[in-house]
């Protein structure tokens, strides 16, 4: 009997900009992130933050799918994201 492969953990950063008034659909995909929408300025900021987040992961020798919620928030704060832009921390079991 063949054993099923263990499912590989995957994680993505998702950015959604909601301030687009020019009708242009902006989509950017990169290593472990996807960004959708926003004005040109908002989309540029999302790209910058996604790249910086990945740089911080590399500096720590970590992968997005392996970090805790707290480590995620620490990195987010290091790159200048405020709590209003972050998902809530789930309660501990």
pLDDT tens digit string along 7-53?
778 899 999 999 988 989 999 999 999 999 999 999 999 999 999 99
Q: How confident is the model at residue 1 (pLDDT cuts 50, 70, 90)?
A: low
Domain assignment of residue 60, yes or no? yes
Band of the pLDDT at 3, cuts 50, 70, 90?
Answer: low
Contact partners, residue 4, CB within 8 Å, separation at least 6:
none
In a domain, residue 93? The reply is no
Note the pTM of the prediction, 2 decimals.
0.80
70: in domain: yes
Asked whether residue 8 is assigned to any structural domain, the reply reads: no
Could you give the CA distance from residue 60 to residue 44 in angstroms, rounded to a whole number?
Answer: 25
Whether 4 maps to a domain, the answer reads no
Domain total of the chain: 1
The answer to whether position 7 is within a domain reads no
- The reply to whether 25 falls in a domain is yes
What is the domain range of residue 25? 13-82
């Amino acid at each position: 009997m063949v054993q099923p492969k263990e499912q590989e953990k995957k994680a993505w950063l998702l950015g959604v900009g909601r301030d687009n008034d020019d009708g242009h659909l902006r989509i950017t995909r990169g290593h472990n992130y996807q960004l959708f929408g926003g004005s040109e300025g908002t989309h540029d900021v999302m790209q910058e933050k996604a790249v910086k987040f990945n740089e911080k992961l590399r500096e720590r020798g970590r992968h997005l799918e392996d970090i805790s919620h707290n480590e995620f928030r620490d990195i987010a704060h290091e790159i200048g994201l405020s709590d209003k832009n972050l998902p809530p921390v789930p309660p501990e079991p």
